[in-house]
Structures are given as structure tokens and as C-alpha cells.
Amino acid sequence: MSNSTDFLLALEGVTVSFDGFKAVNDLNLYIDKGELRVIIGPNGAGKTTVLDLICGRTRVSGGSIKFKDQEITGLKEHEIVRRGIGRKFQTPSIYEDLTVFENLELSIPRGRNVVGALFWQRSEEVVERVHQIAKMIFLFDFLSRSAETLSHGQKQWLEIGMLLIQDPELLMLDEPVAGMSVSERAKTAELLNEIIKHRSVIVIEHDMKFVESIAHRVTVLHQGKILAEGDMDTIQHDPKVKEVYLGH
Amino acid sequence: MFMGYSLGELGSIFAMQAFAGLILFSVFVLMALGLAIIFGQMGVINMAHGEFMILGAYMTYMTSHIFQTYIPGAYPVYFFVAMAVAFIVSGAAGLATEWLLIRHLYARPLDTLLATWGLSLIMQQAFRSIFGAREVGVELPQWMMGALPVTDVIEVQINGLFVMGLTLIITGAVALLLYRSRWGLQVRAVVANRTMSGAAGIDTRRVDRLTFGLGCGIAGIAGSAFTMIGSTGPTAGQLYIVDTFLVVVFGGAQSLLGTIFSAFTISQSQSTLEFFLTGSMAKVLTLLLVIGLLMLRPQGLFVLKVRR
Amino acid sequence: MWNPTNKKLDLELVGFALIALLILVVLPLSVDAFRLNLVGKYLTYAFVAVGLVLCWGYTGILSLGQGVFFGLGGYCMAMFLKLEASSVANTKIQSTPGIPDFMDWNQLTELPFFWVPFKSLPFALFAVIAVPAIAAFILSFAMFKRRVGGVYFAIITQAVAAVLTILIIGRQGYTGGINGITDLRTLLGWDIRTDGAKYILYFVCCVLLLGSMFLARFVLSSKLGRLLVAIRDKEDRVRFSGYSVGDFKIFIFCLASAIAAVGGAMFSLQVGFMSPSFVGIVPSIEMVIFCAVGGRHSLVGAVIGTLIVNWAKTSFSETFPELWLFAMGGLFIAVVLAFPRGLAGLFTDQILPLIKRVGMRTGALPKPAPAE
């Protein structure tokens, strides 16, 4: 282990325990610039917890998390976001009482303090940026709709769009296709392949078909530890992985 | 020595105030117990909880009155009958409240707070219309009067001891219900995961209603105990709701032990401070202390750390 | 250019204009001086209701202790007025002339240090805003930075209201106790008890209220206003969009409290006293119901709701004092169960579509016909 790394994100010896139960145990995980990493694993493997730890929602009990070579453990959530990490939640997390346009506008990474928000101007540039993202996430025709009227899949896209407009260097997606129809899944895979061209992405997913359609490198998590790591083909033929998934 | 008291005197003062505090502790525990199981399970704050207590107190008053008038010979045991009446009437009122009001407001905790406040206003006015605006008191039966001398300076009120014993029994019974009965198992399941419990075939609505009724019933018993240490008036309950809620929050809303511990801490500190300061300043200091502690531990003192 | 919110806001402006018409023209022309003063008193509560729209309606922070800030503003004003009324000439029969009468009754022989700066009007006016705002800041900073919210925050604000009431009542030598600070007479020599003065103060109150409403409107129609809705909706998402949620909650809570405080100061001026009965738990939660009845999401509704509930309270408790508590309790329940968006919600959901339909029908016909 070196103190200085070339990795975008480096987790080293990360441990977290809830009342003695170690949900994540001495985990090492490295993400390269421009890499797409899929994390899979059975229920309770600690996948979501890993994302929670990276984005500061849960505090680590031990270990270090470095982003662009800087320690981010102990930072507040919004500070971590401002460093360039975006996070999508498992269930779509959008502002139902606002329109699609407003949802996206609020996610633009400017005017983030009280004064800035108070005197924020909806400039030509802002509108253009919102339109551009809305086209990417297939919601251009829905801009003036209240977000609560969107379908489940559209809500997922909206949340992805809200992250894109932040333009993070690392994007973390927790089950982005959960609850989507087959055609929506295909469109989402297309969207993701578009997104990853410019940034690093961590995806948690159960759906193996979907994983195959996007995956480059896969990490298998089991009981808070890394069970296997490698490309899709290696993983699918790993006997340990088979055992975990098919039962003992 | 401190404020001109000798060490021995200070010891006696603390002991006496501690006993005085224990009666307050009893009322707190009974009130908080009801509020805590309701809040813990449904996330609902019943702002009319104090009024359910006063309802129990009025029931106790009425029972004592009936005993005095019709069966004076049985007066020494009236209190046990009164307790049962208080529990049943307050509990039934609680069930009705849940059915008429609370169940329409799930997942809207702030609105429930306002609605139950409205209920408390209505109950207060109803008490005033039915029982009059004057405060009423019950006469203690002979065997509960007087005090036991412990040392030559320290005395303990018998009724205080009795109320405390009662509190311990009821707390034990609730603990048994929660951890040994089928209802308790269902309650704990619903607290842990409402959706899953529903899917697993638990009638969560019914569990909620029973919980609310039981919580209000315990408040009724608290009212019975209350008649021994204070006089009953239409607005007497309102004074207790903030304190009781702070007890619940301070202890951590889902922990029985925490509730008891925090009721003890708050009542003791208030009672001890009361000797050195005026009653109102003691109250101010206690409240500020609790608010301050809550800032340090917003989830309360006894709370499991879990992934949200 | 696509523009999402303007239409709704125009309607709000119409509402503002109607309120201005009502309180600046219609009421002064139609009711006597006594009733107008009463309306002025109600309008001071409307400041609190406007503040509650900001923090409760839009941000989801229910404060059950707004009486604290109303009261602090009122006390700051009343302290200045009391000192002016307690000149040595006015109080020469006291054992210590020159201090407020209640201090003399409580055997104080010297003005307490925190009263001294209130001899200056500029300081008092500054304090009317600053003291409540600082109190609100300390409370909200401690709570929101620790992520205490929801019902916990509501009950803690209630506890604060209880604490302040007990303090005021218990320390009567410094505060005037349960009677409050009474017998306020002049403002820089101008007698505020005359009908003429009350008339002028009423209009000052109206102008300040309309000013507060415009300020609130400015805040709500900015991006910050939409952020507040977002926070109410999904606090975590806002945090993970890179905002420090606590800062925004603190800001809006302090703003709401400062607006409430202006109302309190106007109360002292118009009614001529300030007492703990406007600070405690019961008045604080009543102020919430004013806002809820009018509509917690509507500035116009909050003001109208305040006027209606208070008018009802006054006329009810004159004739059926017993029934008032029942009615009040029923109002709490009904507003929450049956129309959570209040009168304003009723208006936009029921009456507005009706007007539109009638308008379309009459517009389509060459000769306007009455709706059947």
C-alpha cells in the first residue's frame, strides 16, 4: 500500500460496524480514472453500505478513503459532493413537488450557498444546460411536468440526470434499473454507456443481463469483504462466486 | 459548607428530595411509558396524552365518590377498582381516538401533532363542562395516610411508596407484554419494519389500534396515581405533555429501559434543584439541561446504531 | 422561452392587492377606531403566520414556539416604551423614582444592566429584530446542524416557549412577571394611546406587514424558495446535490422569527402592553392554526386565515365562551383531516376552476348570461 496513488478513488482497510456487526470488514477497493466498476453480491453483502461510506452518509469505524489522493473520511456529505462525487439512491430520490425543469436546475453546481441561491438568475445558459441534459435522459418533453407524475423508470432517469448536471468525476449508482421495463432497461444501458465516456462510475446491480451489457470490471462482495474481482467472464466461472450465489 | 448547610444536613436534604422526586418519577414513568410505545411504534405524538391522564384522574375521583356514598365500608380498596376503571375508560377513549382520528393521519406526524392538540382542547373543555372548572381531590383511605420515619430527619410518605410500587408493577407488566406476548412480538415486528410485517400477515392496523389504546390506558392509570399527589383540574394534564415528551426523547423513543432511566434522571434533577432554587427556576434549568443533552445526542441516550 | 412559475405568482400578486385594499381602504373606512385597533392587533399575529408559511409550509419545519420570537420582539419594544413612561417626573411617588413601577414593587433600586441600552430608540428598534433573530439562530444552529428535525424540533420549540414563559413569570422584578410590561404611554413624547396615534400605528403595521409579505414572496420565488420545497420533500437528495441543508433551514427559521418579532413590536405599540400570555405554549400553537386555516402554502391565505380565526374568536368568546374551546379544537382537527391546504387550497381547487369555467362560458357568449 502506498500513500500516494494514481487511482481516482482508493479505499484501504475500510471497516464499519453496527453494534458489533461488521457490515464492511477491512475492505480495499481501487477505482481508476474513467473506469466503470460493477459491484455485485448477495443481499446483505454490504454493497449499499460501501456507497454510504464513500459519500459520507455513514462514518467509517476504521480505514481510509481517498479521492483524488485526498482523505475524504470525516467530511460532510455536501463537501464530498463538491469534491466531485455524485450518488444515486436505490429508490428514486427526486423532488416530487417540483417540475422536471426545477429538479434539474437545482442540481446545477452553482449558487449553492444561501446568498447565491437567493439571487440566482435563470440565465440563458442555465436553460440550455437543462435542455441538453433533459434530452440525454429522454425527458425533454416532460420539462414542465410535475415530477410526481413521472413513471418509475422516468424518475430513475431524472435522478441520473440530476447527477449528470452536477458533472461529477465519480458517479455512484445504486441499482439504476430496478423496477424498469425491458425497453427502459435497454435505454438505460445506452444512457450509461454514454455517461461513462467522461467519468468513473460505480454501479451496484442485481440484474446479471444488465451487468453483462455494461460491465467492464466486476467486484463481488460477500459478508463485507471482497470475494472476487475481475472481468465478467472470470467472475462467472469463479467457483467461490457460484457457491455464494447458488447456496451452500 | 455548600450554601451554609452541613454535610449531614445536605445528605438528608438529598434523601428527602430524592423521595419527593420518586413520586414525580412515578407519574413521569407511567405517562412516558404510554407515550413512548405509541411514539415508538407509530411515530405519532399524542399531544392529548395529558388529557387521557386527567380522564383517568377524574374516573378515580368519581369512583372514590361512589364508594364514599354507597359502600363506605369498602372504601379502603376503592383505589384498586378506580385504577381498573381509569384504565378501561382511558383505554376505550384511546381506541376510539385511533379509529376516528389517528388512522387517517399516518405518515403525517406533524399534522397528527396538531390534530391531537385540537383533541386536547376539546377534552379540556369537556372536563370543564362536566366536572366544573374547580380542581377536585380525592380523600386518601386511612391506611395510605401518614409517613414512615426512616431516620429522625427523613420521613417517607406511605402513599408515595404505594404509587412507586404500583409503577414498578405496571412497568414490569408492560415489559412482559412487549417481550413475552404475541401482541408484543407483533409490535416489535411493526417497529422494525412496518411493510414487511404487513406482508408477513400481521394486521398492522389492529396492532396500532391496540397499542394506542394501551398507551392511553396506562395514561389513565397514571391519572389514578396523580390524584394522590396533586389535585385534578381540567388543564392539569397540559403541564405534563412537554416534560413527558422530553423524557421519551431523552431516553430514546424505542427503549423501555431508556425511558425509565431518563424519567428518573429528569425527575431527580428537578426535585433536587427545587430545594436550592425556586420551583420554576428548577424547571427552567431541567428543561435547558435536557435540550442541551439532546443536542449532543439527538437520537436519545439509548439507541441502537443501525444502517438507515 | 419556457417559463414555469409565473402564472401562479401573478395570482398571488392579485391576492396581495386585495389584502392591501382590504386593510388599507375598506376596513379603515368601515369600522370604528376601537374595532380598527382590534384588526391591527390581529394583523400583528399575521406577521407570525407569514413567517410560518416560510418555515412550516415551504420547508416543513413546524415551530410550536413562534410566540417566543413574537414575544421577544414585543418585549424589546415594550422595554423602550416603559423606560420612557418611567421618567423621574412620572414616577416620583416611588421609593426609587426613574425605574419601571414593577421593579419598584419588587424592591429593585437600580435599573438592571440589560435594561439600560433600551433607553435609546435606535438600539431598541435594532434589538426588536436582532434579539429574536439571534435567539432563533442559536436554537436552529444547534438543532439543524445536529439534524434534529420533525416532531423533535416541534416539541423542543415548545419546551423553549415553556422555559421563556416560566422565566418571565418567575423573574418579575426584571420582567414585570405575569402581568407583563403594562401602562406604555409615549413614543419620543408622542402619546400612543390617542385614537389618532392608533390610527397612524395601524397604517404603519399594515405597511410593515405588506413589506414582510413582499420579502417572503421574493425569497419563495427565488431558487432558494424551490430549494426549501426540495428540502421538505427529500432532504437527503438536496444534501447529495452539494448543498449544506442546515444553512438553509437556519436561514429560513431566523427569517421567519425576525418577521414574527416585527409583529410583536407592533403589538406592543398598538395594544400598549406585552405579557407572557403571548409567549407560551398555547398562544404559540394558536398562531400555527391561524396559518393552517388560511393555508400553510399561501402568504395571502395565512393573513386571511389569521383575520378570520381571530375575528371568530373575538365574536365567539364574547357570546359563547364555553363553545370557543370546542370550536378551536374542532378547527385543529378539521383543518388537518379535511382541508390540509387551508382556505387557500380550497380557493385554488374549488373556486378558481369555477370562476374559470364561468369566465369561459361568458366570454364565449355574445351577451353575458348568469351561470345557472
Bridge partners (DSSP) listed for residue A212:
none
More confidently predicted of A241 and C132: C132
Q: What is the band of C128 on the pLDDT scale with cuts at 50, 70, 90? A: very high
**Could you give the angle at the alpha carbon of C226 between the alpha carbons of C353 and C214, nearest 5°?**
75
* Chain A residues inside the 8 Å CB shell of B305: 18-19
Which grid cell sits at C26?
Answer: 375598506
Taking CA–CA distances from C234, the nearest residue in chain A reads A95
Nearest C-alpha neighbor of C49 from the set C351, C343, C349, C348: C343
Domain boundaries, chain C: 28-364
Q: How far apart are CA B121 and CA B114, in angstroms?
A: 11
Q: Name chain C contacts of B45, Cβ cutoff 8 Å.
A: 151, 155
Q: What pLDDT, on the 0 to 100 scale, is given for residue C137? A: 96
> What domains are there in chain A, each with its CATH number?
9-246 (3.40.50.300)
- Where residue C371 falls among pLDDT bands split at 50, 70, 90? very low
Name residue, grid cell 431516553: B251
Instruction: Mutate one of C137, C235, C237, C240 to test the A interface: name it (highest A CB count within 10 A).
Output: C240
| C202 vs C28: CA distance, rounded Å | 9
Max CA distance (Å), chain A: 60
Q: Which band of pLDDT confidence, cut at 50, 70 and 90, is reported for residue A5?
A: low
A95: pLDDT strictly greater than 50: yes
Residues of chain A contacting residue B304, judged by C-beta atoms under 8 Å apart = 18-19
At A88, phi and psi to the nearest 5?
-105, 135
Show the cell assigned to A1: 500500500
Q: In a 3-state reduction of DSSP, which class is residue C371?
A: coil
User: In terms of DSSP H, where are the helices of chain A?
Assistant: 47-54, 77-83, 100-106, 114-118, 124-136, 152-166, 182-195, 208-214, 232-236, 239-246
Tens digits of residue pLDDT in C108-122:
888 999 999 999 999
Pairwise CA distance, residues B284 & C164, whole Å: 8
Pairing between β-strand A36-40 and β-strand A217-222 as defined by DSSP bridges: parallel
- β-pair partners for A71: A66
Set of cell numbers at residue C199: 390610527
Return d(Cα B167, Cα B173) in angstroms, integer.
Answer: 10
Q: Residue C362's pLDDT band (boundaries 50, 70, 90)?
A: low
The C-alpha cell that represents C305 in the structure block: 386565515
Do residues B15 and B82 make contact, with C-beta atoms less than 8 angstroms apart? no
Partner chains of C (3+ C-beta pairs under 8 Å): A, B
Query: For residues C305 and C295, is the Cβ–Cβ distance under 8 A?
Result: yes
- Kindly report the number of other CB atoms within 10 A of residue C169's CB atom: 20
Q: Tell me the average pLDDT across B283-305.
A: 71
DSSP-derived letter for residue A99 is B
In angstroms, how far is CA C341 from the centroid of its own chain?
19
| Residue C234 DSSP class | -
Three-state SS at A129: helix
Residues A55-86: tens digit of each pLDDT: 888 888 888 999 988 899 889 999 999 999 99
Distance in angstroms between the alpha carbons of the first and the last residue of chain A:
34
The residue ranges of DSSP E strands in C58-185, in sequence order, are none
Q: How far is A175 from chain C (nearest CA, A)?
A: 16
Q: pLDDT band at A158, cuts 50/70/90?
A: very high
Tell me which residue in C229, C240, C245 faces A95 most closely, judged by beta carbons: C229
**pLDDT tens per residue across span B132-159:** 888 888 877 777 777 777 666 667 777 7
> Considering only CB atoms, which residues of chain B are within 8 Å of chain C?
43, 45, 101, 104-105, 108-115, 117-125, 128-129, 238, 242, 245-246, 249, 278, 280-281, 283-284, 287-288, 290-291, 294-295, 298
CB atoms within 10 A of CB C5: 15
Checking if the pLDDT of B114 tops 80, the result is yes
Measured CA to CA, the distance from residue A135 to residue A181 in angstroms comes to 20
Does pLDDT of B3 surpass 70? no
Express as a percent the part of chain A with pLDDT over 70.
96
Grid cell at residue C139: 436554537
CA distance A89 to chain C (A): 9
Asked if residue B127 lies in contact with residue B234, where contact means CB atoms within 8 angstroms, the answer is yes
Of A19, A49, A52, the CB nearest to B305: A19
The identity of residue C49, as a single letter, is A
Residue-wise pLDDT for C201-232, tens only, equals 999 999 999 999 999 999 999 999 999 999 99
Q: For residue B252, give how far its alpha carbon lies from the nearest alpha carbon of chain C (Å).
A: 11
CB contact under 8 A, A95 and C237: yes
Residue found by looking up cell 382556505 in the block: C343
Confidence of residue C290 (pLDDT cuts 50, 70, 90): very high
Nearest C-alpha neighbor of A31 from the set A51, A56, A4, A9: A9
- In this prediction, what percent of chain C has a pLDDT beyond 90? 59
- At B253 the pLDDT is 61
SS3 A90: coil
Question: 0.80 exceeded by the pTM?
Answer: yes
H-helix or E-strand spanning residue C201: helix C195-221
Which helix (H) or strand (E) segment holds residue C308: the answer is helix C299-319
Lowest mean pLDDT segment, chosen from A116-125, B216-225, B248-257, B295-304: B295-304
| C151 to chain B, closest Cα gap in Å | 6
Quick check: C163 and B245 CB within 8 A? no
Beta-carbon-side half-sphere exposure of residue A17 (alpha carbons within 13 Å): 8
Confidence at residue C4, expressed as pLDDT on a 0 to 100 scale? 46
Q: What is the dihedral of CA B189, B192, B194, B200, to 10 degrees?
A: -40
What average pLDDT does the segment B211-216 reach? 91
Q: Are A31 and A170 in contact (CB under 8 A)?
A: yes
Q: Cα separation of B124 and B101, whole Å?
A: 17
Identify the sign of the CA torsion C120, C123, C125, C131.
Answer: negative
pLDDT at B307 over 50: no
Q: Which residues of A touch C (CB under 8 A)?
A: 55, 57, 76-78, 81-82, 86-87, 89, 93-99, 101-102, 105-107, 109, 111-114, 117-120, 122, 127, 143-144, 159, 162, 166
Least confident of A239-243, B286-290, C362-366: C362-366
Q: Is 70 exceeded by the pLDDT of residue C313?
A: yes
Asked if B116 and B46 touch (Cβ cutoff 8 Å), the reply is yes
Written in H, E and C, the secondary structure of chain B is CHHHCCHHHHHHHHHHHHHHHHHHHHHHHHHHHHHHHHHHHHCCCCCCHHHHHHHHHHHHHHHHHHHHHHCHHHHHHHHHHHHHHHHHHHHHHHHHHHHHCHHHHCCCHHHHHHHHHHHHHHHHHHHHHHHCCCCECCCCCHHHCCEEECCCCCEEEHHHHHHHHHHHHHHHHHHHHHHHCHHHHHHHHHHHCHHHHHHCCCCHHHHHHHHHHHHHHHHHHHHHHHHHHCCECCCCCHHHHHHHHHHHHHHCCCCHHHHHHHHHHHHHHHHHHHHHCCHHHHHHHHHHHHHHHHHHCCCCCCCCCCCC
Q: pLDDT band for position B306 (50/70/90)?
A: very low
Question: Residue with C-alpha cell 437556519?
Answer: C250
| Banded model confidence at residue A248, pLDDT cuts 50, 70, 90 | very low
Residues constituting chain C: 372
The top-scoring range by mean pLDDT among A184-198, A221-235, C243-257 is C243-257
Instruction: Determine phi and psi for B278, rounding to 5 degrees.
Output: -75, 160
Question: Nearest CA to CA, how far is B24 from chain A (Å)?
Answer: 34
The percent of residues in chain C predicted with pLDDT above 70, rounded, is 94
ipTM over 0.90: no
User: Do strands A9-18 and A62-67 pair parallel, antiparallel, or not at all (unpaired)?
Assistant: antiparallel
Let me know: does B190 contact B207? Beta carbons within 8 Å.
yes
Q: Residue C6: pLDDT above 50?
A: no
Encode pLDDT of B181-196 as tens digits. 888 888 888 877 777 8
Distances from the Cα of A6 to the Cα of A34, A66, A105, A170, angstroms: 12, 11, 33, 15
Residue of chain A whose alpha carbon sits nearest to that of B303: A19
**Backbone dihedral angles phi then psi of residue B177, each to the nearest 5 degrees:** -55, -45
Indicate the pLDDT class of residue B305, thresholds 50, 70 and 90. Answer: very low
Residue A32, SS3?
coil
> Interior CA angle at C277 toward C96 and B219, to 5°?
130
Q: Does residue B15 register a pLDDT over 80?
A: no
Block residue for cell numbers 411493526: B190
Q: For position B2, what pLDDT does the model report?
A: 55
Contact at CB, A19 and B304, closer than 8 angstroms: yes
- As a whole number of angstroms, the distance between CA B81 and CA B86 comes to 9
Note the pLDDT of residue A61. 87
Max Cα separation, chain B?
Answer: 66
- CA proximity to C125, closest of C218, C250, C258, C257: C258
| pLDDT of B1 strictly over 50 | no
Q: Residue B39 — very low, low, confident or very high, per pLDDT cuts 50/70/90?
A: confident
The alpha-carbon radius of gyration of chain A (Å, integer) is 19
* Confidence tier at C367 by pLDDT (50, 70, 90): very low
Mutate to test the interface with B, among C166, C233, C309, C335 (most CBs of B within 10 A): C166
Contact B105 C336 (CB under 8 A): yes
Q: CB-based contacts of A13: which residues, under 8 Å, 6+ apart?
A: A26, A27, A28, A62, A63, A64
If residue C356 lies in a helix (H) or strand (E), which one and from where to where?
Answer: helix C352-364
Q: What is residue A216's three-state secondary structure? A: coil
Residues in chain A: 248
